[in-house]
A and B are shown apart, each in its own frame.
Chain A
Amino acid sequence: MWDYSDKVKEHFFSPRNAGALEGANGVGDVGSISCGDALRLMLKVDPESEVIQDASFQTFGCGSAIASSSALTEIIKGKTLDEALKVSNQDIADYLDGLPPEKMHCSVMGREALQAAVANYRGEVWSDDHEEGALVCKCFAVDAVLIEDTIRANKLTTVEEVTNYTKAGGSCAACHEGIEEILIKVLAETGVAFDPTATPAAVEVAPAQMNTLQRIRRIEQVIQAVRPQLQRDHGDIELVDVDGKTVYVNMIGACSGCQMESLTLNGIQQKLMEELGEFIRVVPTRAGSLTRAMGN
């Protein structure tokens, strides 16, 4: 049985705001009986202030679908429509002290019902733009449709790349066989055969042929190349250490901690991956924090 939090159980066994809502002026229906879950969210909105005065739900679905619906109504009551629209599916899950990864779609459904109900109140048409496929990665709740689309859009060829782009397969690795199968299928559409030994984002440089010293030199070259640009902005960067796929750098001066830091690091990470033809993670370290960064 699922490892539901006490909060989920509590909202399932004693759901709040269940049943039809007298005088509702915004109704959102999502899901269907054939999919196994369906949720109707009903809102009573004050036309003057757009405050949600009352909310209720009717849900066909599993324990977490009912608990998510109940939580949603509690969260949005008293909020204005604009405030309510800011509620994310993660907010619903957090309110319930978390949901098992396989059940996160219940919170997504809650958010969709909210959008649909607000659209209904405002006389707009709301359309669902995501298509749900079979769940491939259960750890991060990534489905087949998303993986296929991501492979096509980014011309991915390896499981590792799929993991980098979608998170699928990044935890327990149980779905790697499934991801390989999707890769085989999608690659076959363009007449390419899946090569399990391929290195991600294959470039001219074959990493296997580089020895450690060459590899570190190449990393240094990339870092050197971005320094002039950073120095113009009164900052700088230095290479601290390389540990497998992780490159530790020290951001100095104006760059350190600024908003641009993560953008800069992402850019450097991208350049390193292109240059080395392998997955690289760039991790900033602060003076004295190197050991901590490496200790985890």
Chain B
Amino acid sequence: METIYLDNNATTRVDPLVVDAMLPYFTEQFGNPSSLHSFGNRVGLALKKARMQVQALLGAAHDTEVIFTSCGTESDSTAILSALRAQPERREIITTVVEHPAILALCEHLEKEGYVIHRLKVDGKGRLDLDEYRGLLSERVAIVSVMWANNETGTYFPVKEMAELAHTAGVMFHTDAVQAVGKIPLELADSKIDMLSASGHKLHAPKGIGVLYLRRGSRFRPLLRGGHQERGRRAGTENSAAIVALGQAAEMALASMEHENTEVRRLRDKLEAGVLAQVSHAFVTGDPDNRLPNTANIAFEYIEGEAILLLLNKFGIAASSGSACTSGSLEPSHVMRAMGIPYTAAHGTVRFSLSRYTTEAEIDRVIEVVPQVVAQLRKLSPYWNDLGPVADPQQAFAPVYA
């Protein structure tokens, strides 16, 4: 059976050209870039090239603004902890309720240590209230950390505008752009963003390589201290093969930026329209007019996400869900709850995330399969009868306790 991979926001397949680029760095190019001899020197030059390739993708002013880390999570932690250590008198952080756990769990931990965390709320489409944000900016705030694009819905936050506001207020600004990097142009040089996180495995590079962009002149305290790698900003011998791979992947992402924002977007729109035309009681979550070109998040009412994924998987279609059951927790995704998605739908959200490899035939197949899967599960649901949802689901299904 042909498999259809539509879970590219979770991770992507490493591009074969990227694999080719990295392989020599496991074998003949094994040197330590810090070494003076030619083994090391050749690797050092390769890292320099990769740094410039990433710089180009980010639209950064200087290649030295690129720091290689082990993953997006490390970049996020480094950025926030650096801001706190560099400005010990500032004890507040502004972030949002819909960040990735890489930010949220860290902030929860810092809260226990006595820091004040302001979490900006979102509306039903996942949008922020900039007045609330303006009101919170003060000289007590060490850093603002707001994601560029949401991993579940793809919805953008106006990070450039928010960075300007932070800059005017004298507050550092970090963005978790793990989902945005490689999918949309960033042009960091023209922005007031001080720090930005990226992760290789979201753009067809391998897992375990990340980037922290650090604007020249920003105050910084390293997370890992030790050797002088990354100009002392991130100690530890460089993962040279993965860095070379990320450089290659960055160059390819830049080259297919146009494709991503035209063809991939068209396929995503076709998928949504095709599914919604056939399935009732389903809707797109997030802000459809302002989001990543590759992401479609659809809520199917009266059925549960994990069950949908298992059936899709049987048809060879890979997607993901914000339902509680897929994560082993009792709560549906914090993003869906923050947007106030009604309880009838919050457990039935499915995210389809495309890539430049996604084909028209694959999307046609998904449009054909999804309605069958939904119908099959609704037939089992106590909240659904032949015609549609039971009149008052809370009433009709009445456990003796509540």
Q: Which residues of A contact B (CB under 8 A)?
A: 1-2, 9, 12-13, 15, 18-19, 29-40, 58-66, 102-103, 116, 119-120, 125-128, 132, 134-135, 138
B68 nearest CB across to chain A (Å): 29
* Residue pair B399, A31 in contact (C-beta under 8 Å): yes
Name 26 A/B residue pairs within 8 A (Cβ), A-sorted.
Answer: A1-B310, A12-B310, A13-B310, A18-B379, A29-B398, A29-B400, A32-B399, A32-B402, A33-B343, A33-B383, A33-B397, A35-B330, A36-B332, A37-B325, A38-B383, A58-B380, A61-B304, A62-B304, A62-B325, A65-B325, A102-B328, A116-B399, A119-B400, A120-B400, A128-B401, A138-B328
- How near does chain B come to A145, taking the closest CB pair, in angstroms? 11
Q: A40 to B397, Cβ gap below 8 A? A: yes
Extra contacts, 15 of them, besides A13-B314, A29-B382, A62-B305 (Cβ < 8 A), are: A1-B309, A9-B310, A30-B399, A32-B397, A33-B343, A36-B330, A36-B347, A37-B325, A38-B383, A40-B382, A58-B381, A60-B381, A62-B307, A64-B325, A66-B380
**Alpha-carbon distance A59/B397, docked complex (angstroms):** 11
B interface, size bucket: 35 or more
Residue B323 at the A interface, CB < 8 A? yes
Does B324 sit within 8 A of A, measured CB to CB?
Answer: yes
Contact B379 A63 (CB under 8 A): no
**A2→B325 CA distance, assembly (Å):** 10
A-B residue pairs, 4 tightest by C-beta? A62-B325, A62-B306, A58-B382, A34-B343
Give the residues in chain A near B382, CB-CB below 8 Å. 29, 38-40, 58-60
On chain B, the residues within 8 Å of A116 by CB distance are: 399-400
| B35 sits at the interface (CB 8 A) | no
Shortest CB-to-CB span from A178 to chain B, Å, is 12
Tell me, yes or no, whether B303 is within 8 Å of chain A by CB.
Answer: yes
* B325 and A36 within 8 A (CB): yes
In-complex Cβ contact of A127 among B304, B310, B393, B400 (8 A): B400
A1 to B314, CA, bound (A): 13
Considering the chains assembled together, what is the distance between the CA atoms of A63 and B66 in angstroms?
44
Contact call A135/B307, Cβ cutoff below 8 A: no
CB nearest to A60 among chain B residues = B381
Residue in chain A with minimal CB distance to B345: A33
Q: Which of B344, B379, B397, B402 has the most CB of A within 10 A?
A: B397
Q: Which residues of A contact B398 (CB under 8 A)?
A: 29
| Chain B contacts for A64, CB-based, 8 A | 325
In Å, the complex CA distance between A132 and B383 comes to: 22
Q: Is the CB of B397 within 8 A of A29?
A: yes
User: A127: nearest residue on chain B (CB-CB)?
Assistant: B401
Q: Are B400 and A33 in contact (CB under 8 A)?
A: no
A22–chain B nearest beta-carbon distance, Å: 14
- Residues on B with C-beta less than 8 A from A61 are 304, 307, 325
Q: How far is the CA of A9 from the CA of B313 in the complex (A)?
A: 12
Report yes or no: A60 in contact with B328, Cβ–Cβ below 8 A. no
Q: Is the CB of B330 within 8 A of A33?
A: no
Contact of A38 among B311, B332, B397, B401 (CB under 8 A): B397
Q: Measured between C-beta atoms, what is the minimum distance from B336 to chain A in Å?
A: 12
Quick one: closest B residue to A119, CB to CB? B400
| A8, closest chain B residue (CB) | B310
- Tell me the complex Cα distance, A62–B380, Å: 11
> Which residues of A lie under 8 Å from residue B213 when comparing CB positions?
none
Residues of A within 8 A of B347 (CB): 33, 36
**Docked-complex contact B328 and A36, CB < 8 angstroms:** no
User: Are B330 and A132 in touch, CB under 8 angstroms?
Assistant: yes
Check: B329 CB closer than 8 A to any chain A CB.
yes
CA distance A293 to B210 in the complex (A): 49
Question: In the complex the two chains form, is A135's CB within 8 Å of B344's CB?
Answer: no
Given contacts A61-B304, A63-B306, contact A134 B329 (CB under 8 A): yes
Instruction: Report the minimal beta-carbon distance from A284 to chain B, rounded to whole angstroms.
Output: 37
- In the complex, chain A residues whose CB is within 8 Å of the CB of B314: 13
Chain B window 262-306, contacts with chain A (Cβ cutoff 8 Å), 1 for yes, 0 for no? 000000000000000000000000000000000000000011111
Chain A residues with Cβ under 8 A from B379's Cβ?
Answer: 18-19
Which residues of A sit under 8 angstroms from B381, Cβ to Cβ? 58-60
Report the minimum CB–CB distance from A187 to chain B (whole Å).
15
Q: B370-400 CB contact bits vs A (8 Å, 1 = yes)?
A: 0000000001111100000000011001111
Q: Mark B343-383, 1 if CB is under 8 A from A, else 0.
A: 11011000000000000000000000000000000011111
Given A36-B330, A60-B302, A62-B307: A29 touches B399 (CB 8 Å cut-off)? yes
A33, B302: Cβ atoms closer than 8 Å: yes
B204–chain A nearest beta-carbon distance, Å: 22
Rounded to whole Å, the gap between the CB of A162 and the closest CB of chain B is: 19
Task: Give the complex CA separation of A135 and B383 in angstroms.
Answer: 26
Bound-state Cα–Cα, A250 to B300, Å: 62
Q: Report the Cα distance A60→B393, complex, angstroms.
A: 12
Smallest Cβ distance from A167 to chain B, in angstroms? 17
CB distance from B303 to the nearest CB of A (A): 7
- Among A30, A63, A125, A132, chain B packs the most CB atoms within 10 A around the CB of A63
